[in-house]
Amino acid sequence: MKYLLVILLVLVVFWIWRRGRPSPKKAAQPGRSQGKSSEGKEITEVVACGVCHVHLPKSEALIGRDGFYCSEAHRREAGA
Ligand SMILES: [Zn+2]
């Protein structure tokens, strides 16, 4: 009977200790970045012209030897 009281006391102390700690469920919430990453693929990459530094979508940019250019004239001006 004496041991039973000791075990009960340990259990009560352990229960109080666990209650005092912050809930691990709130701390370990998975981020919602999964939805954002799928949307990020749709955003077009922007590059800067090597001559006039105008920013334009990569799909519209002309690819030269040293980078991207906004127009054929600037690509020729850069000597690419
Ligand atoms: Zn340019």
Ligand 1 centroid–CA 59 distance in Å is 15
Q: Which structure tokens are listed for 19?
A: 């209650």
* Angstrom distance (rounded) from CA 50 to CA 16: 66
Give mean pLDDT in consecutive 10-residue pieces for the chain, a chain of 80 residues: 88 90 62 51 86 96 93 90
50 within 8 A of 64, measured Cβ to Cβ: yes
Give residue limits of the domains in the chain: 44-80
| pTM, to two decimals | 0.46
Q: Calculate how far, in angstroms, residue 44's C-alpha sits from the geometric centre of ligand 1.
A: 19
pLDDT of residue 34: 47
pLDDT at position 71? 96
